[in-house]
Amino acid sequence: MTVRVAVNGYGTIGKRVADAVALQPDMKLVGVAKTRPSYEASRAVAKGYPLYLAADGSKEAFEKVGLPVAGQVADLLREVDVVVDAAPDKVGRENARLYQAAGIRAIFQGGEKPDVAEVSFNALANYEAARGKHTVRVVSCNTTGLSRAAAVLTSRWSVENWEATIVRRAADPAETKRGPINGILPTFQLPSHHGLDVRTVFPKLPITTAAVVVPTTLMHVHVNHVRFATPPRNVAEMLAAFRSTPRFHLFGSWEGVDGTPQVMEFARDRGLGRNDFMENALWENGAQLDGKDAYFFQGIHQESIVIPETVDAIRAMFDLAPDGAHSIAITDRTLGIPPP
C-alpha cells in the first residue's frame, strides 16, 4: 500500500516533513499547502511539489510572482489518505475541522494541545499506541528528546525521579522577530509544561522540568538528573544503552565537541538534508553516575528531531510496518540517519 500524504503548513517543520515523506518507499507526497508566496514556496515548486493554497492564501499573489497553484487546500485533502498539519501553534486545532470534513486522517505537531488527537506519539516509546489511529499528535521537539531518553532508561531500569532543566533556543535560525538576543529568560511556569507533556507519552514517569530561554538558534540542551530505584551498574552501561538505540548519537571526549556549535558543525560536515541533526546528541564526558543518581546532557536540534517521528506516525496509523523497530529502520535508512 502507498499512503497518499498532504502537508498543510510549509514552514520549518512542514518543508522537512514533505522532503522526508517524498523519500519513503510506502508513501507518496501529493502536495503541500502554503499561505503566502515566499522563497520556501518557490523551493517547493522547484522540487516539483504541487502547491496548494492554505487558509486565506491568494491565488493571484502566487501567480503574480510566477508560482503555479494547483488548487485550494480542500482540493488537496480530497486526494490524500492523511494530512500532516504543520501550521503554527494552535492553528492545527482550527484546521482539524477541515480534515474531519474531508474524512481523512491527520497528524498534528507538538504546538497543539494533547486533546487535538487520540494519542501523543513517540516512535521509540509508544509506536503501538498509534497503530490504526485516525488522529495522532507528534510531541514537540523537547518532549521528543525526553521521550526517546525515557524509552531507553525506563525499559532497562526503574526510575524513581527525573528532573530536567530545558535550556531553550530563543528562535529558529530564520526567525528574526523572536528573542531575546541578549539575556536569559526564566520560564515562570514551575514546573514547566514539558514534563507534563512527556507524561502524555509516559503517563507514570515521575518527571518534572524547568526551562530557561537563551539567545541561540542552534539547539536546545537538556540538563538531566535521574534518580533510579535500581541504577545501571556504571555510567558505561547507561551510555551503552543510549549508544545501542536508534536516533542517539554519542560524541566521545576525543572529538572536541564542546557544545552545540560543534554538533551543528558535525551536522554540516555530515551533510544530511539541510544539514539537520535528527538524533539526540549526547556527550560521553557529559554523563555521570553517582550511586542511584545519573546525570547527562543532551542536545536537541529543534528544527529536525520530530521529522523521523512524523514519518513513523504515518506508518503506524496505516499499519505499514510490523512494529516500531521496522518503521524506524526504514525511516532512518531513507533519511540517512546512521543505525546504532
Contact segment (CB under 6 A) with ligand NAD among 6-14, 190-198, 201-209, 210-218 equals 6-14
Considering only 6, 7, 10, 282, the residue that binds ligand NAD (CB under 6 A) is 10
Report the nearest approach of ligand NAD to the CB of residue 220 (Å).
9
Question: Which grid cell is 76?
Answer: 488537496
Closest separation between CB of residue 110 and ligand NAD, Å?
Answer: 5
Give the Cα separation of 267 and 202 in Å (integer). Answer: 30
Binding mask 274-313 for ligand NAD (x = CB under 6 A): ----------------------------xx--x-------
| CA–CA dist 207, 153 (Å, integer) | 13
Residue 192: how many other CB atoms lie within 10 Å: 21
CB closer to ligand NAD, 179 vs 340? 179
| Alpha helical stretches, state H, the chain | 12-22, 39-46, 59-64, 73-78, 91-102, 123-126, 141-154, 193-198, 235-243, 260-270, 306-317, 324-335
- CA–CA dist 89, 108 (Å, integer): 10
Give the end-to-end CA distance of the chain in Å, rounded to a whole number: 28
- Give, as one character, the DSSP assignment of residue 285: E
User: What three-state secondary structure class fits 298?
Assistant: strand
Number of residues that bind ligand NAD (CB under 6 A): 28
Nearer to ligand NAD, 121 or 228 (CB): 121
Closest approach, Cβ 227 to ligand NAD, in A, equals 28
C-beta of 140 vs 327, nearer to ligand NAD: 140
CB of 40 to ligand NAD, least distance (A): 7
Least distance from ligand NAD to the Cβ atom of residue 106, Å: 12
Cα–Cα distance measured from residue 95 to residue 107, given in angstroms and rounded to the nearest whole number: 11
Stretch that binds ligand NAD, among 107-115, 121-129, 193-201, 236-244 (CB under 6 A): 107-115
Instruction: Measure the CA–CA gap between 109 and 89, rounded to whole angstroms.
Output: 8
Nearer to ligand NAD, 113 or 243 (CB): 113
DSSP letter, residue 214: E
> Annotated catalytic, 158?
no
Query: Is the Cβ of residue 44 or residue 239 nearer to ligand NAD in the bound state?
Result: 44
Cell numbers found for residue 147: 521521550
Q: Of the residues 54, 141, 207, 218, which is catalytic?
A: 141
Give the gyration radius of the chain's Cα atoms.
20
Asked if residue 141 binds ligand NAD (CB under 6 A), the reply is: yes
Give the cell for residue 229.
Answer: 530505584
In the numeric block, which cell numbers belong to residue 239?
Answer: 551510555
Among 3, 6, 7, 9, binds ligand NAD (CB under 6 A): 9
**Do 141 and 302 meet the contact criterion of CB atoms below 8 Å apart?**
yes
91 binds ligand NAD, rule: CB under 6 A: yes
Cell of 178: 523572536
Residue 12 interacting with ligand NAD (CB under 6 A): yes
Kindly state the smallest distance separating residue 39's Cβ from ligand NAD, in Å.
11
Name which position in 3, 5, 6, 13 contacts ligand NAD (CB under 6 A): 13
CA–CA separation, 29 vs 66, rounded Å?
22
Q: What is the x/- site pattern for ligand NAD, positions 220-259, by CB under 6 A?
A: ----------------------------------------
DSSP 8-state assignment for residue 339: P
Catalytic residue positions, numbered: 141
Q: By CB under 6 A, name the binding residues for ligand NAD.
A: 8-14, 33, 35-36, 54-55, 86-89, 91, 95, 109-112, 140-141, 172, 302-303, 306
